[in-house]
């Protein structure tokens, strides 16, 4: 390592480096707090001024970070939030935690990463370490981000150091958190890898080195493709077994007793969250450059994307059979807006796809979610912004022809819902798991 790299390493070891975390969402905020707990002074950057105000007031908007944990770091003067990106010029370590969505054509949208890299380029401290955490296709760090940072004539490995370390956050998972999840680390060259590893080793319990950023990028996408493909498999089996009169959840539970060679995955109304519905398409897009087909991955995506339509077809059949009503004349209550149980995270939630389908058929609908009282602004579902969660009461249930359970939050009165007699389309096997059954409960 050069003398400059050694000095950068010493600053990280001694916790005299200032760490900048860009993007204070589900990934960035827990990392910022963990870095502050690790002894670093941390500047958190976000374009959302309301988030900045909230954090500086010691109020967290993410379940994984408590107000107490936030306030401890604020009181110790180790954590500050800002929308002034010129302060990046004071940062020795900069971590990019911004979204990487898809376009409407399901192609990668690197706008946030590119804009962030341009902002860093204009405020880059000499010999700073820049790390990308946002999930993306292999070679992004070494081409897109590196290319932007080098536009001023600075050279990676000499004037600054560059790495990639994929986020592995799982909202609502109480067993693992930012500190306890093993961290994949990589760098553009040996010096960068050493610096990236030292920074994360100061923050998390375990790091795992890989040879290059492109390997780390491929690792993250592989993890999510693995889940996407297996979820698609059980979703397809659900449709097949339902036609055969076989309970797919009973099949999965029975298969899960095998102590080797099997890992249970469970069907649902579609995929949600910022990873599984999106990340596989980053690889399929990049694979086209190499003229390599990705039929398996794309088929899994098609199956998962099509699940809301399967739920709707089940609803339509049961409405006709049990209520003698058409879908267009029915009033539907959607139970759960979050993409998974016990979290308020609505990113890519299949509930929105179901809302869209109901709207297209002229159905009236409302929703209840104890963790999402009001639908906030979203990039893709502005038409629902401001819609409020209705109270879940017997009177509310009586005002609807059917209920679609899309998210099986623990904090729902399943016995009351089942006893109401209203038609229930259970996409999570939530009622059967609680020993509740009835002619009004159909699974989809």
Query: String of b and e for 117-141 (b: at least 16 CB within 10 Å)?
Result: bebbbebbbebbbbbbbbbbbbbbb
Pair 397, 417: CB distance under 8 Å: yes
Measured distance CA(202)–CA(12) in Å, rounded = 8
Report the SS3 class of residue 417.
Answer: helix
| Tokens matching residue 297 | 């991955």
| Tokens matching residue 233 | 């498999």
| CA 111 distance to own-chain centroid | 18
CA proximity to 70, closest of 117, 24, 112, 11: 24
Q: Where are the beta strands (DSSP E) in 32-182?
A: 41-45, 79-82, 93-96, 129-132, 161-164
The residues annotated as belonging to the active site are 275
DSSP annotation of 337 reads -
Pairing relationship of beta strands 183-187 and 161-164 according to DSSP bridges: antiparallel
Measured distance CA(18)–CA(32) in Å, rounded = 11
> Residue 246, by phi and psi: left (phi above 0), alpha (psi -120 to 50) or beta?
beta
Residue 224's CB is within 10 A of a number of other CB atoms, namely: 21
């Amino acid at each position: 390592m050069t003398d400059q790299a050694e000095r950068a390493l010493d600053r990280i070891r001694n916790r005299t480096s200032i760490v900048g975390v860009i993007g204070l969402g589900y990934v960035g905020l827990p990392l910022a707090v963990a870095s502050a707990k690790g002894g670093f002074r941390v500047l958190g950057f976000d374009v959302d001024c309301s988030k900045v105000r909230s954090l500086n007031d010691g109020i967290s908007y993410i379940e994984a970070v408590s107000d107490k944990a936030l306030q401890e770091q604020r009181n110790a003067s180790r954590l500050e939030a800002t929308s002034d990106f010129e302060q990046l010029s004071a940062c020795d370590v900069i971590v990019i935690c911004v979204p990487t969505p898809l376009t409407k054509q399901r192609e990668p949208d690197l706008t946030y990463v590119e804009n962030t890299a341009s902002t860093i380029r204009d405020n880059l401290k000499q010999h700073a370490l820049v790390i990308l955490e946002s999930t993306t296709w292999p070679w992004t760090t070494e081409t897109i981000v590196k290319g932007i940072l080098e536009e001023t004539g600075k050279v990676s490995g000499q004037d600054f150091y560059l790495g990639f370390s994929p986020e592995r956050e799982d909202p609502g998972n109480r067993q693992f958190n930012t500190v306890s999840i093993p961290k994949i680390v990589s760098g553009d060259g040996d010096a960068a890898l050493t610096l990236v590893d030292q920074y994360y080793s100061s923050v998390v319990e375990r790091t795992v080195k890989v040879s290059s950023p492109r390997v780390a990028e491929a690792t993250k996408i592989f993890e999510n493709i693995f889940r996407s493909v297996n979820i698609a498999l059980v979703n397809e089996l659900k449709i097949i077994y339902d036609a055969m009169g076989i309970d797919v959840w009973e099949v999965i539970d029975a298969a899960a007793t095998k102590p080797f060679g099997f890992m249970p995955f469970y069907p649902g109304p579609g995929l949600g969250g910022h990873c599984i519905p999106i990340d596989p398409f980053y690889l399929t897009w990049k694979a086209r450059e190499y003229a390599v087909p990705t039929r398996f991955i794309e088929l899994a995506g098609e199956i998962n994307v099509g699940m809301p339509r399967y739920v709707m077809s089940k609803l339509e059949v049961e409405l006709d059979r049990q209520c003698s009503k058409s879908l267009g004349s029915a009033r539907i209550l959607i139970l759960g807006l979050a993409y998974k149980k016990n979290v308020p995270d609505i990113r890519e939630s299949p509930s929105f796809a179901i809302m869209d389908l109901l709207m297209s058929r002229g159905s009236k609908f409302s929703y209840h979610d104890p963790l999402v009282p009001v639908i906030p602004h979203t990039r893709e579902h502005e038409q629902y912004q401001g819609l409020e969660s209705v109270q879940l009461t017997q009177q509310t249930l009586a005002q609807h022809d059917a209920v679609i359970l899309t998210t099986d939050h623990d904090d729902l009165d399943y016995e009351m819902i089942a006893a109401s007699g209203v038609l229930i389309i259970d996409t999570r096997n939530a009622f059967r798991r609680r020993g509740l059954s009835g002619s009004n409960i159909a699974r989809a």
